[in-house]
Amino acid sequence: MPAQTILLYPDPRLKEISAPVTAVTAEIRSIVRNLLDTMKAHPGSVGIAAPQIGELKRIIVVDVSGHKRAGNHHGLLILLNPVIRERDGEQIGREGCLSIPDYTARIRRAARIRVEAYDFSFSSICIDASGFEAVALQHEIDHLNGVLFLDRVASLKLDLFPRKNYLPQLARPKE
């Protein structure tokens, strides 16, 4: 399937809470394919949530394996109804978002998390993540709750930065 258009801030759908997935239906499989295709169409992206393509379902895709900050990771994760059950430690790092393409910000996140979710076969799974993968998971799970990284910026004056080498076409999928 072709990549989908990314919703851009301040689209009000980005602030809505997503509905739980109750089964892996044809609709859910289609949304997951669209998420994978859309993430692939945006090089450097490490995650995407269904609300970012206008689907208010609790689905995220995360894959930090190609990123220089990857560290330990689980590879490609397709998670349905993910919930953070445990948080530990603290880290501050720079985050960006496909839905807010012209800014990055310093954000405080948990250093280690435990996520409970369903995988693509709707089997219950538990993932312990740390470092950059933990950040990516927290970022994408926030999208499911209508939370953007801008909502977590401590100081807009000190912690929000224009993206270097910002390309306006970043938010549009490749043709």
Residue 130 lies in a domain: yes
Cα-Cα-Cα-Cα torsion 51, 56, 59, 65, nearest 10 degrees, comes to: -10
Question: Which pLDDT score is estimated for 165?
Answer: 63
Residue 173 in domain: no
Decide if 2 contacts 38 (C-beta within 8 A): no
Asked whether residue 3 is assigned to any structural domain, the reply reads no
| Position 59 pLDDT exceeds 50 | yes
The pLDDT of residue 111: 98
Does 171 have pLDDT greater than 90? no
Residue 128 lies in a domain: yes
Cβ atoms of residues 32 and 76 within 8 Å: no
Tell me the residue range of the domain where 155 lies: 12-167
Task: Name the domain count of the chain.
Answer: 1
Q: What is the pTM of this model?
A: 0.92
Q: Annotated binding residue at 139?
A: yes
Specify if 2 maps to a domain.
Answer: no
Is 77:70 a contact under the CB 8 Å cutoff? no
Q: Is 143 annotated as a binding residue?
A: yes
* pLDDT given for residue 174 in this prediction: 46
Model pLDDT, residue 93: 95
Q: How does pLDDT run across 62-115, given as a tens digit for each residue?
A: 999 988 888 889 999 999 999 999 999 999 999 999 999 999 999 999 999 999
CATH for 19: 3.90.45.10
Q: Is residue 64 part of a domain?
A: yes
Quick: pLDDT tens for 136-145: 999 999 999 9
Chain segment 123-137, per-residue pLDDT in tens: 999 999 999 999 999
Angstrom distance (rounded) from CA 135 to CA 46: 10
Active site positions, annotated: 140
Residue 42 is labelled as binding a ligand: no
State mean pLDDT over 17-21.
98
Q: How high is the pLDDT of residue 67? A: 84
pLDDT digits (tens, 9 = 90+) for 157-168: 999 999 876 545
